[in-house]
Structure formats: C-alpha cells, structure tokens
Amino acid sequence: MPNPNPAALDFLLTRRSRPAKTLSLPVPTPAELTPILTAALRVPDHGKLEPWRLLVLTRPAMIRLADLAEARARATGGTEERIAKGRGQFDQGNLAVVVIASPKAQDKVPEIEQILSAGAACLGLVNAALAAGWGACWLTGWVSHDRGFAEPAFGLAPQETVAGIVHIGTETTPPPDRPRPDIARLTQWITE
C-alpha cells in the first residue's frame, strides 16, 4: 500500500519558478545553500557517475561575467538585444548556481542519460530552493550555449556543457500564474 506525502505532492502541484528579474537580496548564505545543493544532487545518476558539477556564482562573479558576456557579444557582432540579454543574465542576479553537464566516457551509461541527469539536477535545485523558502529560476540563454563565452566563463572541458543557470534569491513579487499543459491532450494510455 502506498504511503502518500500530501504536503510534498501539494508542493509539486503548486510550485512556480520565480522570474529571475524579481529575485533580490538577501540570498542564501553558504550554510543555507548547502542543504539545497545536497537535495539537488539526489537525482537519477545511473552508475554513480556524478555526470555534473556545480559552480556557485556570487555577486562579484556575476559582475565579471556580465562584462565578459558583453565583450563576447560585441566581439561576435551581437545586436544590442543580444548584449542586453547576456549582461542581464548576470547584471540582475545576486546568486546563481551553474549546473555543468559533465558526461563521463564509459560504456555502461549512454551520454544522453548523463546529460538528462544534469537537467534533473537543475530541476532539483529549483525545487529545493523553493521548498527552502527562496525564489528560484532555471535559465539558459545564449551565454549557456556559446562555447566562446561558456568555456572561459565556466571553465568547461571539451565534453562539458551548461545544463542551466539557476538564480536564487528573495522573491519580491508573487509570480503570475500561467496556462498549464493539457494533460489529456498530451497523455496517451496504452492498455494492450
């Protein structure tokens, strides 16, 4: 017989990411962030490979990365919108955790499963931060996918990619709700 946890299910049914631009100070201290990071890494990890790593960005790092994003965008002929989006990812933040997908070369676990594990770590991080009372948002954007930015900014090895940048802080305004997926339209029951 199942042993339901109604509080956990209610949390999952009502959870809502907070837009990064609405997050402010204070942010979690290292002691407050540690259990959030611990919870985030309790994700499916086939073969105990730990195919991810985390970078915690504090405000001084965010300032440096905003400048680096602008320089990269300008060097590649980026539009003012691209520059603003790259800077904004870091200008507006006070604390973020970069989840790096770091697949391990081996024969047992396919690379895609390792990358999905890093994505699960991103969602686990958002959920753990929200459960701890903080606001949180999982972002990517061009800064996550541009190797010319991400390699020097985050010290990526050749096989690594950015799975997400999770901003964490104090919620300043309640997030607006949004339309939710139509479960009946998206779900197929196979009974034979």
Q: Is 17 annotated as a binding residue?
A: yes
Q: What is the pLDDT of residue 45?
A: 82
Secondary structure (H, E, C), 41-103: CCCCCHHHCCCEEEEEEEHHHHHHHHHHHHHHHHHCCCCHHHHHHHHHHHHCCCEEEEEEECC
* pTM recorded for the entire structure: 0.95
Nearest to 83 by CA among 154, 142, 37: 142
Q: Which residues of the chain are modeled with pLDDT < 50?
A: none
How high is the mean pLDDT of the chain?
96
Q: What is the pLDDT of residue 178?
A: 86
Q: Is 59 annotated as a binding residue?
A: no
Q: What is the pLDDT of residue 113?
A: 95
Distances (CA, A) of 117 to 31, 46, 97, 169, 175: 25, 8, 16, 24, 27
Q: What is the pLDDT of residue 47?
A: 84
Q: Is 140 annotated as a binding residue?
A: yes
Q: Is 147 annotated as a binding residue?
A: no
Q: Is 58 annotated as a binding residue?
A: no
Q: Is 144 annotated as a binding residue?
A: no
Burial of 85 (0-12, 13-18, 19+ CB in 10 A): middle
Q: Is 46 annotated as a binding residue?
A: yes
Spans of all domains in the chain:
19-57+94-147+157-172
Q: Is 117 annotated as a binding residue?
A: no
CATH 3.40.109.10 fits 19-57+94-147+157-172, yes or no: yes
Q: What is the pLDDT of residue 100?
A: 98
105-117 pLDDT, tens digit per residue, is 998 999 999 999 9
